[in-house]
Each structure stands twice: as structure tokens, then as C-alpha cells.
Amino acid sequence: MPAVSMTVNGKPVTGDVEARTLLVQFLRENLRLTGTHVGCDTSQCGACVIHLDGIAAKSCTLLALQCEGAKITTIEGLAEPGGALHPMQEAFREHHGLQCGYCTPGMIMSALDIVRRRGNDLDEHTIREQLDGNICRCTGYHNIVKAIASGAKNMAKGGAPRRAAE
């Protein structure tokens, strides 16, 4: 089996994978980073969103081998090493932007990408349009939208949008 090397949440990792192994499988099964979830087979639900070299990507639609040398950030890499939550994580809790929690890691990773692309002052319409790649079945999105708007604002207070741990 071919070997693959990448940096995940700031740590260099290597592993042997099949050519057909998906990035999400590599993260979940080889690295045991199970915060990244799989909710569909067609790249619709967004439960598997991670950051690939700082940009949101669906890890169910990438082969692990495609990510040779890449910098990957998963939900596990967002909080400070000391445990302080990222403002976007904090906003999801504060605004009850999650219920079962299954879509949440992907939602948070996508939310950060919306901030990267659209800035910290996000209106409801923009957030709703930009969440097209993520599905939540529990919340009706109402509180997710509020959480993202608030998290984006709070990120600005703490300086520029934080690139997740690298």
C-alpha cells in the first residue's frame, strides 16, 4: 500500500493507505480523529468538512493520496492547545446551534470558511446562502445562523479571522 504524509492539526502524520482510501477514512480510521463525520455518499451533507491548506473541503470527496504534503485542520484542531474554545465553537454553544451534534463539526468548519471568504460582518441572507453545502436535520438552521453571525463578530474582536492551528 502506498504511504501518505501530511500535517494534521499541526502534527506531521504518515500512514499506509489504499489508492481508493478517502481522506475522511484516513482521518477517522488511521488517525482516530472521529470528529469528522460522514452523513452521505454524494458530497451534499457537509458533515465531513475539514480545511485543506486553509480552505474548506469535503473530506469524503478527496482521496487521502491527493493530500500528500497538505496541511489539514479538523474540528479537533480548532480549540487552543490549553483548551480555550475557538470563538465559533463558543458561539455554537452560546446560541444553541446544535442538537444531536452530528453535523456540527462540518458546520463549524464551513462557518469559518464563510468568514474567510465573506468577512466578519455577515447578514442572515449571506449565511443561509453560503451554508448550501451543509445539511442539519435538527435545528431548522435558525440558531446555526445566529451562531455563525455571532461567532464571526467575536472572531473580529479577537483580531483577524484565525487560521486554524497549523
Q: How far apart are CA 43 and CA 7, in angstroms?
A: 23
Question: Which of the stretches 51-59, 63-71, 97-105, 152-160 binds another protein when contact is defined by CB under 8 A?
Answer: 97-105
- 34-40 LR contacts (CB < 8 Å, sep 24+): 35/74, 35/75, 35/76, 35/105, 36/74, 36/75, 36/105, 36/106, 37/102, 37/103, 37/105, 37/106, 39/102, 39/103, 39/106, 39/135, 40/135
Interaction between residue 45 and another protein (CB under 8 A): yes
Minimal distance, residue 32 CB to another protein, in Å: 8
Interaction between residue 163 and another protein (CB under 8 A): no
Q: How far apart are CA 68 and CA 11, in angstroms?
A: 14
Question: Which of the stretches 61-69, 70-78, 115-123, 155-163 binds another protein when contact is defined by CB under 8 A?
Answer: 70-78
Helix (H) or strand (E) holding 151: helix 142-157
Q: Which residue from 7, 13, 30, 38 is in contact with another protein, where contact means CB under 8 A? A: 38
Interaction between residue 100 and another protein (CB under 8 A): yes
Residues between 101 and 160 that touch another protein (CB under 8 A): 101-105, 108, 124, 127-129, 131-132, 134-145
Q: Which is nearer to another protein, 69 or 125 (CB)?
A: 125
Interaction between residue 52 and another protein (CB under 8 A): no
Minimal distance, residue 82 CB to another protein, in Å: 13
